[in-house]
Chains A and B, each alone.
Chain A
Amino acid sequence: NAGVMQNPRHLVRRRGQEARLRCSPMKGHSHVYWYRQLPEEGLKFMVYLQKENIIDESGMPKERFSAEFPKEGPSILRIQQVVRGDSAAYFCASSPLRLAGGYNEQFFGPGTRLTVL
């Protein structure tokens, strides 16, 4: 059973360009989370999605950032008009269908390291 896949692993963009980060959850997982890690910091929650639904986007910057998890295909985190401050490691995690009253562990992908020149 393959783990969470993210691509690309490394992405270099110039200021003003668009960055698209992809995440394929583990087989059978229907919940996807995106986190961002700035240098010397912990991971910060950005957005939580289920298939075709955004459940919680409280950690997502209001402008330039968007996320989707379509019925078919990977989840996409899109950053428009990137700036140097967007340089970070972006991690995706997935979990299975949440059982009532239980906790479902989040399994993390290897991350995409975005560098904005």
Chain B
Amino acid sequence: DQQVKQNSPSLSVQEGRISILNCDYTNSMFDYFLWYKKYPAEGPTFLISISSIKDKNEDGRFTVFLNKSAKHLSLHIVPSQPGDSAVYFCAASAEYGNKLVFGAGTILRVKS
């Protein structure tokens, strides 16, 4: 039962352009959503989050959009940089502060 889905295994983007990573979820009880970035042989690093009472949260080059009716969220990175190349995981929580449910991840490659 895959409650959080990232349907694109990989994405390739030119440096300076926008990267858009997508995530869909099925559990309507999820009330907090997060994006993590992961480099090989390292643990996930928190990037940005959004509460279900909002539809947008911005932090520098990173913006997360939440569409509750479609059960869909996306991460926009503008402008993309080569250092952004990593695996990006979408995660969701049904209870504040408790377990996270992760998607399978999307490999982002930013070409210079």
Interface residues of A (CB under 8 A from B): 4, 6, 31, 33, 35, 40-45, 48, 55-56, 58-59, 91, 93, 95, 98, 101-111
Interface size of B by CB at 8 A reads 26
CB of B100 within 8 A of chain A?
A: yes
Option from A41, A56, A108, A110 in Cβ contact (under 8 Å) with B99: A56
CB <8 Å contact, B100 and A110: no
Which A residues lie within 8 Å of B91 (CB)? 43
Instruction: Please judge, given known A-B contacts A44-B102, A103-B32, whether A108 and B97 are in contact too, CB under 8 Å.
Output: no
The total of Cβ contacts below 8 Å across the A-B interface reads 66
Residue contact B99 to A107, C-beta cutoff 8 Å? no
Smallest Cβ-Cβ distance to A31: which chain B residue: B97
Bound complex: CA A44 to CA B51 (Å) = 21
**8 closest Cβ contacts across the A-B interface?**
A108-B43, A42-B102, A98-B97, A45-B99, A43-B102, A42-B104, A103-B96, A104-B97
Complex interface residues of chain B between 76 and 104 (CB less than 8 A to chain A): 89, 91, 93, 96-104
Q: Any chain A CB within 8 A of the CB of B16?
A: no
Query: Which residues does B use to contact A, with CB under 8 Å?
Result: 4, 6, 32, 34, 36, 41-46, 49, 51, 89, 91, 93, 96-105
